Amino acid sequence: MKALLFNAFGSADVLQWDEIADPVPAPGQVLVRTRAAGLNFADVYRRNGTYHLAGAAPWILGYEGAGDIVSDGGPFPKGARVGFADMPFANAELVAVDAAKLIPLPDDIAYETAAAVLLQGLTAQYLVTDSSQPRAGQVALVHAAAGGVGLLLVQMLRAKGVRVIGIASSESKREAARQAGADVVLGYDDLVSNVLEATGGEGVHVTYDSVGRTLGDSLAATRTGGTVVFYGMAAGDPDFVDPRLLMDRSLTLTGGDLWNVLTSAEIRRERAAELFAQIRNGTLKPTIAATYDLRDGAKAHAFLESRGAVGKVVMTVC
């Protein structure tokens, strides 16, 4: 089979489309022919050596994709359309996927849509159902509101009747957040004072922070008794938080990780079905920033790293 490989850490130029042996499914796995794969910053961090990779080169990136089952023995028949959100080596023509991690795709959910929405959509979903439970009439602050998770999060909050303040780094991204339904969209300059002004000085009920370095501002922009959900460090590690701050203002600071939520095949498929239903009824409209052939994965990586992507970058396999 062909796969997007790299033999040394570095820039996007280290990626090559080359031959490698077909994967052999282990017990409890099935073989999936890839039709589309989602690209995430975690792939960039693994490629440049920021994230640890087990084993020896050549390495294959990718943890998220969709395609067709081409082997027997799993919970779904050969030829079934499936997606998955957390199996390694997805940037290849064939992927060995744990049967318990397979998500059946309805006929009206395209491969590209599944690859664009599963990981980030399931993340946004748990943020508004498990990490916090915002209610209609409340106000939420969403960092990186034009990112893959951010755009979905804005839409899910709006569907709950929550007023959304989105934060984005450029005017084009701020416009994307507006189009997704954010009521107020701001830049990162003077974030706290602008959020307080937009909320009549009270602050927001809940803040979703995936940036990391902004955690102090998130706490300052959240009202007394509110919640800050910390779920990423796109701009680096946050400063330490003095627990007396939480005590003095009755704030809740909580973390979130998707893999603590997807604890069984049944839960995984139920939550994915809810996600697909929101897409089907128009509540959720995934944004695909760009689509590349998987063989052109180096170009896809370079585009994602340019920080110009609004929404999800997807790679397809013909």
CATH 3.90.180.10 applies to domain 2-120+262-316? yes
Task: Return contacts of 167-172, CB within 8 angstroms, 24+ apart.
Answer: 167/141, 167/142, 167/143, 167/191, 168/144, 169/307, 172/146, 172/310
Taking the model in full, what pTM does it have?
Answer: 0.93
Helix, coil or strand: residue 80: coil
Burial of 299 (0-12, 13-18, 19+ CB in 10 A): middle
State the chain's mean pLDDT as an integer. Answer: 95
| pLDDT band with cut points at 50, 70 and 90 for residue 178 | very high
8-18 per-position pLDDT tens digit? 999 999 999 99
Burial of residue 66 (CB within 10 Å: 0-12, 13-18, 19+) is buried
Q: What is the pLDDT of residue 61?
A: 95
Taking only the tens place, the pLDDT of each residue in 12-64 is: 999 999 999 999 999 999 999 999 999 998 899 999 998 888 888 999 999 99
Closest CA to 158 of 173, 188, 180: 180
Domain ranges of the chain: 2-120+262-316, 132-255
**239-253 average pLDDT score:** 95
Confidence check: pLDDT of 235 > 90:
no
Topology adopted by domain 132-255: Rossmann fold (3.40.50)
Strands 29-39, 94-98: pairing is antiparallel
First to last CA, the chain: 13
Write the pLDDT tens digit of every residue in 274-315: 999 999 999 999 999 999 999 999 999 999 998 888 889 999
Residue 210 · residue 231 · CB < 8 Å = yes
Q: Tell me whether the omega of the peptide bond preceding residue 58 falls within 30 degrees of 0, making it cis.
A: yes
